[in-house]
Amino acid sequence: MTIDLYVYLIVCPLVFLSGFVDAIAGGGGLISLPAYFISGLPAHFALGTNKLSAMMGTMLTTFRYYKLGYINLKRALSGIICAIVGSSLGAQLALLVPDREFKIALLFVLPLTALYLVRKRNFGEAKGPQASELKISIVCAAVALIIGIYDGIYGPGTGTFLLLGFCAFANLNVKEANGLTKAINLTTNISAFTVFILNDCIILSLGLVAGIFSILGNYCGAKYFEKRGAIGTRKFLIAVISIFMVKLIYDLFIKA
């Protein structure tokens, strides 16, 4: 497939922005995937090529957060397994849950999530006595399973919901939560990428160039996250949720 220059000019800057936001708060796909659609790519090529560029950026951030000590390998392993199991269950449930009804439910969930973030000024700053490692691992696994089910049913914003869940329910600080989120995201990205490339649904030239921009965006976002931590993350989470709300409203009431 021949790719015109204008496609690169549309996709690459938005993929950079996506990588920057994703490294901080997750939800980068809410920016990058529409970029591929806007450029005029067929849906299956847009999905596959987006996975390639996202995977490249997430690899960098995951490695960086691991080197900085943000990723607990035991929690990551249990979280990855539960996320994969949950995603498989969710894919089966997607056949039973009407897409429109699920989106309408999210219209109520997202404002409540944003309200939680607005009111919780100390979000991402672990408070109180730390639970045992076993209890933390169990809670993290449960969060990964539940959000994995969501990922299988619908998907957008999965990284954001993982980050929120790990902070809210496992009482992890935002750096530990984001590190764990990235480890899980990388695994699911690799799995999806494998499916797409085996079915020849990836435009390698575009995906690799966009992947470089994703790496640059993730690098800048990771540097920002290292410096700002929870203070910088909360406003990006609210921004991602706002973008998600706009997308849902468009899908439900305009596109339909």
Q: Give the rounded percent of residues in the chain with a pLDDT score beyond 70.
A: 98
Average pLDDT, integer, range 30-42: 93
How confident is the model over 60-69, as pLDDT tens digits? 999 999 999 9
How confident is the model over 102-157, as pLDDT tens digits? 889 899 999 999 999 888 878 887 776 677 889 999 999 999 999 999 998 888 89
- Res 234 pLDDT > 80: yes
The overall average pLDDT reported for the chain is: 92
Decide: 86 and 143 in contact? Cβ < 8 Å. no
**Whats the size of the chain, residue-wise?**
256
- Res 97 pLDDT > 80: no
Q: Is 186 left (phi over 0), alpha (psi -120 to 50) or beta?
A: alpha
Q: Which residue has the tokens 């944003």?
A: 114
Give the per-residue pLDDT at 185: 93
How confident is the model over 219-228, as pLDDT tens digits? 999 999 999 8
- Res 217 pLDDT > 70: yes
**Exposed e or buried b per residue across 176-194, where buried means at least 16 C-beta atoms within 10 angstroms of its C-beta:** bbbbbbbbbbbbbbeebbe
How confident is the model over 174-205, as pLDDT tens digits? 999 999 999 999 998 898 899 899 999 999 99
CA–CA distance, 212 with 206 (Å, rounded to integer): 10
Give the per-residue pLDDT at 94: 82
- Res 256 pLDDT > 70: no
CA–CA distance, 32 with 11 (Å, rounded to integer): 7
